[in-house]
Amino acid sequence: MSTPVITLGVSLKMYFGYRQTLEWCQAIARQLSAHADVRSAAIEVFVIPSHPTLAPVLEIFDGLARVGAQNLFWEDQGAYTGEVSPLMLREMGCSVAEIGHAERRRYFSETDRQIADKTAAAWRNDLTPVLCLGEERHGRVQDAVQVCLQQLDAALASARQAGLSGELILAYEPQWAIGAAQPASAEYIGQVCQALRNAVAGSGTRVIYGGSAGPGLLSQLGGQVDGLFLGRFAHDPGAFQSILDEAAKLCGPTSAREMEGASWQSA
């Protein structure tokens, strides 16, 4: 299967309760099931809810979106009270895992070594890391790119040592933009993301942008990113629908909208 044209990811962090999570997921699933570009994989969606909701969320999005975890441990099993096994996540049906988010670094003191070990654990268990990269302070584009590449190199260290590799999604999230009223400027985001795409060219790695990303940003960025990693702006299903429709307009002439008659009428 070829790489999807546009990737849209959503992390629900710890904002929703159990029932609210399921209601949101059901609303989003209805949108995805009705969308031709999602059915054709011209647009790929992944959702990362809180851990206690993973089992029902996997059922809701079966065949519509990938589902993953907001965290995982670097060992597959053992006496690690309170941790989440990557082996169990894969057994449940998860296919992605968020790793290296700035909040994990800030609040839980996650180190480069721990992030590297988690990345290796994800690949070892056939999970796609959604690896978060980003500078702490707003500065020059070239400085941001350098920080991100250093973080990427550090995050891959354990996997390289173990001879592991796999699918990778890089989520560029400048730490100063997370939770801000506005994202970084489209010009700034585009330049950083394009530089990261150039650095991983040929590997199949996707580069998406997060950090106060919302409706309208994808159109501004054009082809400089492979998609968006959405947070609170996607909590409203209506806002998510507008971003989904925005992505569809950018899919180009090979989108499912032009192929739907041939592929779906014959199904």
Give the residue numbers annotated as catalytic, written as ranges. 101, 173
Tokens read off for 3 = 């790489």
From 2, 5, 27, 41, select the one nearest 249 (Cα to Cα): 5
- In angstroms, rounded to a whole number, what is the distance separating the alpha carbons of residues 193 and 27? 31
DSSP string computed for 161-176: HHT-----EEEE--GG
C-alpha 116/C-alpha 267 separation (Å) is: 43
What is the rounded distance in angstroms from the CA atom of residue 165 to the CA atom of residue 139? 32
Residue type, 118: K
Cβ 21 vs Cβ 57: under 8 Å = yes
Helix (H, G, I), strand (E, B) or coil at 88: helix
Phi then psi dihedrals of residue 19, to 5 deg: -65, -40
* Beta strand pairing call for 128-133 and 169-172: parallel
